[in-house]
Every structure is written in structure tokens, then in C-alpha cells.
Structure 1
Amino acid sequence: MALRKILLEGDSTLRKKSREVTKFDTRTQELIEDMFETMRQEDGLGLAAPQVGILKRVFVMEAMEDNEATAFINPIIIDENGEQTGAEGCLSLPGLFGIVSRPEEIRVRAQDPSGEEFEKTYTGLEARCVCHEIDHLNGILYRDKAEDGLHKLESEEEASENGNGDASEEGKVEMKVADSDA
């Protein structure tokens, strides 16, 4: 396993549509393992192959409810219900967040690393994460869907100095809008 470099906004690869995976071989498995390692190193919830420079329809996600690590190959959303609006960030746009509307519940069909098809239903933050990662596979960044543009995340030190909030129990900074738009 190896850490992969995460591409940042401005790299044209992030705006290209990914190709379907047709070979479920050791190269695909190595990509998935590297993506999990990279996602965990960067404290991400999910990571799509285009973010590491590979235009294949693959993303990985660590489910919040049960810490289940799942690889999605050739995913499609087959059903969606309701709507949720909330903050999103992205490893390819570090230090920023935006408010994005997504379905509250989705059902996704994908293949696992061996090529076996599976379906699963996700709600809330997990549904948001799946939608966000599938957007990456289609060359779409959450910036394109943010309702009021992107905002700068304040560091814990900045938030404290500005009186805008405290760190959460997990030691992460609560999302607060800084004075300047990104």
C-alpha cells in the first residue's frame, strides 16, 4: 500500500468524467487499498479515484455508523428520497466548505473489488458522502452545487481569537464562516 497525492482544484483531471472499470484485477485492488490509506491519512470520509489522478469509476468510503470500509466500483444511484441541506468539504479543496442540498436517502448499486454487484441504502451524512463522491466520478465538484459559494474554514486558533466557536468533543473545529469568501 502507498499514499497517493491528492489533486487540488485547478487540476483538469478533476473535471473529467471517469471510465467504467472492466477489469477487476490486482491493479484495481491496489488502487483501492492505496485510496483507503490516503483517505485515512487525510482524515477524509470518502475519496474518489479522480482525486488521486485515476479516471476510473471507483470511490471508497468509511461508513460513519459502523466504521464499515466500502469500495464502490461503477456506482449508480438507483433511488433517492427527501432532501437535506448541509455543509460539505473536500480533500481537493482544503480549508473550504459550502452548503449543498442532497437527497436525504439514496439507494446505490455498485460492484465490489471482486466484481460482485451489491445494493445498499444510505441516509444522512453517508448519503451525502456517496453523492459527493459520485459527483467526482462525473467531473463535478461540490463548488458547482454550493448554494452560497464556498467559505473559508477557520482554524481552532482563529475561531477562538474571533469568538466564533470552540472545538467539538472530537477535537475538530466546528464549521464557522470566516469573513472572506473563497
Structure 2
Amino acid sequence: MAYRDIRIIGDPVLRTACEPITEIDAAVKQLVEDLLETVDDEGRAGLAANQIGVSLRAFSWNIDGEIDYILNPVLVEVSEDEYQDGDEGCLSVPGLFFPTERGWYARAEGIDLDGKKKIVEGEELMGRCIQHECDHLDGHLYLDRLSKKYRKKAMAELRKQGL
């Protein structure tokens, strides 16, 4: 296993849609180990493969004492009638937190390392995590979802930080 560095906003890998995993080989197994080790740190809720520089559809999470992963996740359900709009942050956008509207509940389907169907679902923080990480895998950052007012503030703060 290896703890991997997090790619920061401005790195093109974060804005590129990730490719599906077509073969579960030693490299994919190592990727999962790296995702699990890297997400296992205080204050980390989720981590997409492209955040550690790998353009494959995989993410890990660390929520409520559960650390796990999913390969080739596809967001299949997001609650349309219940929303949350709390502050959201991102390891790839360090130090910034802004109100971001997300569905209260989300469900993604994918596979595990054995190629078996895997479902990850949850409400509140887990629901937010699933949506956030699937966005990453599609080449989007949470900043893309901010209202005009908060996006303007975020961009100004990023410029101040030299990012």
C-alpha cells in the first residue's frame, strides 16, 4: 500500500472524465489499496482516483468508521425532493468550504475487485460523498455546483492563494 499525494485544482487530471476499469489486474488492485490508505486520514470523507492522478473510475470513502471502495460507479439515484445545502469542501481545493446543494440521498452502482455488483448508498454525509466523488470521476469539482455568489468568492480566494 502507498499513501498518495492529492492533486490540487489546476491539475488537468481533475478536469478529465475518468475511463471505466475494463480489467481487474494488479494495477487496479494496487489502486484500490492506495485509495483506501490515502482516504484513511482524519477529516477525509472521500477520495476519487483522479485526485491521486489515476484517470480510472474508482473512489474510496471514510465515513462513520467505514472505509471502503467502489469501481466503475454510476450514480443511479439522487433524491429530488429532499436536499441539503451545507458547506462542502474538497481535498483538491484545500481550505475552502462553501454551501453546496446536493440531494439528501444518493445511490451508486458499480463493482468490487471480484467483478461482482456493488451498491453504495446513503443519506446526508454519505449521500453528499457519493455525489461529490462521482462528480470527480466525471471531471467536475464541487466549485462547478456553487451559486454565482459563492463561486465568485471561491475564485477570488483561489486567486489569493495563487491557485
Q: Identify the TM-score tier after normalising by the shorter chain.
A: 0.7 to 0.9
* Partner residue in 2 for 1:71: 69
Structure with the higher fraction of residues in helix conformation: 2
TM-score by length of 2: 0.86
What is the count of residue pairs matched by the alignment?
Answer: 153
User: Distance between the aligned counterparts of 2:19 and 2:28, measured in 1?
Assistant: 13
Q: Is the 8 A contact 2:39 2:62 kept in 1?
A: no
Alignment CA distance shift 1:95-1:120 (3 Å): closer
- Percent identity between matched residues is 35
- Give the 5 Å matches for 1:15-164: 15-41=15-41, 43-64=43-64, 67-81=65-79, 82-147=82-147, 148-149=150-151
- CA drift of 1:181 comes to 4.1
CA RMSD of aligned residues (A): 1.8
User: C-alpha displacement at 1:63, in angstroms?
Assistant: 2.8
Residues 6 and 52 in structure 2, CA contact (< 8 A), matched pair in contact too: yes
The alpha carbon displacement at 1:120 in A equals 3.6
- Aligned-partner Cα distance in 2 for 1:11–1:121: 29
Contact 1:75 1:108 in 2 (8 A): yes
Equivalent residue letter for 2:123:
T
Structure 2 gap ranges (5+): 159-163
Higher relative contact order, chain-length normalized (CA < 8 Å, sep 6+): 2
- TM-score, length-scaled by structure 1: 0.78
Greater gyration radius: 1
Which contiguous aligned blocks of 4+ residues in structure 1 show a shift greater than 3 angstroms?
Answer: none
**Could you list the runs of 5+ residues in structure 1 that have no partner in the other structure?**
153-179
Kept in 2, the 8 Å contact 1:106–1:123? The answer is yes
